[in-house]
Structure 1
């Protein structure tokens, strides 16, 4: 059992002194893990990581779902090493940019052009900017899904909207065509931004086709966010799986197996408005110093090769199915399958933690995370990678056996008191950080 997080706690405290929030991504924050049990990592190999206390964990949701082939995946590392040895950034395009664009467009046949960047927010915001220029409209319709961008047009709609003026962004629910039509009919909408599917939401039959038809009818561009679905649902993303082609699509995460690279792709008639072959007023689309650096492009090309010659998606899904079966057998034996449940696509499994009354509970979630950590499992989900072996899945199932037994004890006594050490985790995007005193009192 893992109990020593002393060095991690010290490093985390120092990070809070120097980095706002103590991490560079809110989802990586210490408030997303049990108190005093937030490992600070030093290395990873495959799906296993080691923290600065020497603890080893089987990791899930690796790199916020960006690492699908495994940490230190040798073909990607070798490709990046060779590329950067010849230079990283130049004053003119490189032949690697052409090769990477050809690779990308061969994967996504509905797209005519692509432009690379370094993070997903740049790509989604460029899509919004382009849609506004094409349609001469301002308002954006965003599906009620977790996250699309750090930029004002989206963050202004969240609880962390301080410092952002009111935004012309409206929301619509997933899988409800009448609700979307009401939004499109009632306003001049530049674009519809959505994930075609999520871990918890597969599109009902005909839904995405209906979205496509509504956008065409109302002169609105359709933008698919493929940050998670790309290279996890399929190499060609959700649009490949469901057969619906958007006007624009935004990519990132797994396309570099953890190396920073993102992309905006779509129809030529739109993307050329950010180019040099148009007589129309030009759009400032994407202009980045590091978008075409050779390391990221080399990583992407190596990822494409891995997906063409092996079956990462199949391995992720097989690992997820095996994990689901093992955990559901345990929760059924304990009689808590309706309180500790798995949901989602096999390659993108999430766990739902409910209290004795059947309500979602941060306290019970934290208890489950705490017990998993003690058994050497790290993750806010059970999102698998192609690097998760049978051994890793067996380790996780045994960890869940222990964690589920503690969870059952908490359900029986009606509270996590005496079992949970410290404060519960909190939503990553929230308006106020609870004072330290309050966090301590909550734990009591």
Structure 2
């Protein structure tokens, strides 16, 4: 049997009856069938959206009993692998001591001190539960200290917050007043001249520039330093969203790697290895405006009932210790480099090297699926995902965790080669429909369901 025939036959035989039934249960009681739109079954081929039973290391098992090599774990949050022993040990130790009290726990001081040791470019930190909490807190704080209404977001960053100041700019803006959306303006990544033009056009109105400091490409030389200078000259707050870059670029995030210090920064995802914890960090004079030791108007910065649960803070401390002591960031880069090289070689070997592309920093790889005209295609993404799933690879991206090993990477490359063989056949036919077996996967941000 040829590689093409094996890939096609295995995909045709693959089905998930228990997961399909579980998805129906989820939709019956949860809007969208998931608690994050990016986890929705519309993001996967029709009938092939696994519902997870459990995970360990770099592997997860679905309710049908299938095991997968998993990438992008927990939307990039589980960077050490599932059920990491050092993290679980720290969490269990705190659970027996209570998780939430009427006054701060000493763990809060310990966690804050550990964070500031890890991210020395920050002077104070406040913890919360998710990324939207802390990015929105940064925006509110910037507006308060500058007295300005507008927020300037990087147009090339796909997501900042579930709150109105950002969601109003997306196709899913239903329920957001137009007056709120009008206060958010956008600037392009990497273009200092365009950003300066924006700040000049809205002179004295922009409270902050907020962006992910790095993404699928490295920042152009001098770009982040140039933004720092623009923010200072125009009197606005520079905010780095380090949800993804935090820990994956360096233990101290992109700011630690590139040496440009923002006024405020937001961390999350990898910080808790799946446990719910995020952090707003920054300059003392700004952060203190959300505190008690100043004479200005008070800012309602962050006040969360569960933001300082002891077990989540213990998880964060264990994650930071593991990264530093085990060189986790370097391992993520090494694994990603090996995977990227193998996927590119497999795609080229099957004649689709110009159509299945791997992009991004090695520790944060994504893939693009292009059609016969080399345009991004949800149809070809559907075909590709079907073949990966059939081969036991759950990969909405190729974002690695440190729990992967060489065997996992080798198997992934083998499955990618099988998928690319079918991809080539679809390209030759100029029609991927026969290999999709249903509707295409859909973008998260769209106006209609």
TM-score, normalized by length of structure 1? 0.96
Q: Distance in 1 between matches of 2:280 and 2:37?
A: 24
1:119 aligns with 130
The Cα shift of 1:254 comes to: 0.4
Structure-to-structure mapping, 1:334-413, within 5 angstroms: 334-413=350-429
SS in 2 for 1:230: helix
Number of aligned residues: 432
Select 2:187's aligned residue among 157, 172, 184: 172
Q: Residues 82-138 of structure 1: CA distance to partner in whole angstroms, max 9, x if unpaired?
A: 101100000011111011000011111121100000000000000000000000001
Q: Distance in 1 between matches of 2:237 and 2:77?
A: 27
The Cα shift of 1:335 comes to: 2.0
Q: Distance in 2 between matches of 1:239 and 1:172?
A: 20
2:169 is the counterpart of 1:157: yes
SS in 2 for 1:265: strand
1:427 aligns with 443
The Cα shift of 1:26 comes to: 0.3
2:336 is the counterpart of 1:320: yes
The Cα shift of 1:274 comes to: 0.8
Q: Residues 191-235 of structure 1: CA distance to partner in whole angstroms, max 9, x if unpaired?
A: 00001001x121000000000000000000000000000011111
2:298 is the counterpart of 1:282: yes
Structure-to-structure mapping, 1:167-246, within 5 angstroms: 167=181, 168-187=183-202, 188-198=205-215, 200-246=216-262
2:5 aligns with none
SS in 1 for 2:248: coil
Q: Distance in 1 between matches of 2:106 and 2:318?
A: 15
SS in 2 for 1:231: helix
2:89 is the counterpart of 1:78: yes
Q: Distance in 2 between matches of 1:4 and 1:355?
A: 26
2:108 aligns with 97
Q: Distance in 1 between matches of 2:283 and 2:358?
A: 38
2:418 is the counterpart of 1:418: no
Q: Distance in 1 between matches of 2:139 and 2:349?
A: 49
Q: Distance in 1 between matches of 2:258 and 2:333?
A: 17
SS in 2 for 1:285: coil
2:4 aligns with none
